[in-house]
Structure 1
């Protein structure tokens, strides 16, 4: 699923293309909205809210889209070939005299009065990348459920909005926190949240999501996507497990040495962690 920084960057590019312009084409290829035509509407602004994209119109309506796992917006000059996928994957087309914004495989496509945006995104916690970011409120929401696993809690958009699986596992690694630790047992919760936010802000203006500072292929991330490989810090084999409620599991990578459990871990946790993880030789 795209992280909040991906949605933020998409919103900036969409805003550059659409803000202040009148739509010459406003087409929906979804059964529930097929009869709706936004042609003639003027776009006021495009803003991100966590992982949601809000396209606000001058007539006080808001179009909300969500990427989920596979959605995306692509921007083309008029007449250019659309290359985001097959035509049957197109869900929304918003075109002006200068740009064509094409939404592929979008989810949660809704249009509501702008004053009712809260019905769509009001449940979200403070936006990690938003102008009204509130660290204290995010920490309050996280601490309200001290028995929750930290790897689940930090992904819960009701606690704080925008963090996805990549920044979850990378920030947990950098803070030395086991993904299955209880929220109540995490001493450096504020540092964890601030670290995740710092990583996201460092990647705001480009699509690449680098958390190590090393641009070489295969070294962009500390543990994300590195199952079975050597930890860059200690050489121990990086592990992979599933975490989250049934049917909502997310894969989680971690180093069992750098992120050794300092408190009891749920024995039913699907970690696949061996009793005695062995270090492996690092090749530089």
Structure 2
């Protein structure tokens, strides 16, 4: 079976990509966030994954409000980034692990999920920025990817309980995969933030710390809130915590915390980074 080496979680704010592009990592505004990646780089150098299963959300590059699946799995041999209008550079292409993608899709359907299966898919900042943070300056990405997109935009949104179950189904797929790949699970997005409306600029450090404190030891506790509770607690865009919850499910039943970093704000977002090992 695949060797699940651990899980990496981080925010994917477009402004982070801008800071990387400008070389602002040591700027006083950005330094507390980027300093949190020294430990991430050390951990990745030690664990040496060659495949990444990435739970993220699409921001209109593939899906829009007229056609937005609840769950979508990429099953392509290659994925390209495209211009989203943020003024960011186009990132390097990503090699896909299509065979593993199909194996995951088979398990999801067996477990009575109904994912969209995308044999063509682009990746946006929700995936490319976390990779730039994890592997800065590389000529080519050192891992193949299986991207899994979760709807965090158009209501009705999936519940936290459903996303945790989705991740656990992916875990079953990884443990039944006959290959010997070293797999890192990645969850991206958040934490608390709201970009529009009457609560624009809203952040909730108490809820963020509740999520960080319980992600490793008791992820089921994060499912006690309804999706509307999560919107209230984390902000309209803070529901990206669903990506983290699904990724935690894919890691396996037990986990230990290796590293965390929490910094507020980064471009009106409570930014966080976390690393977990399977236990």
TM range (shorter): under 0.3
Structure 1 or 2: more helix by fraction: 2
Relative CO higher for 1 or 2, CA cutoff 8 Å, sep ≥ 6? 2
TM-score, normalization: structure 2?
0.23
TM-score, normalization: structure 1?
0.23
Greater gyration radius: 1
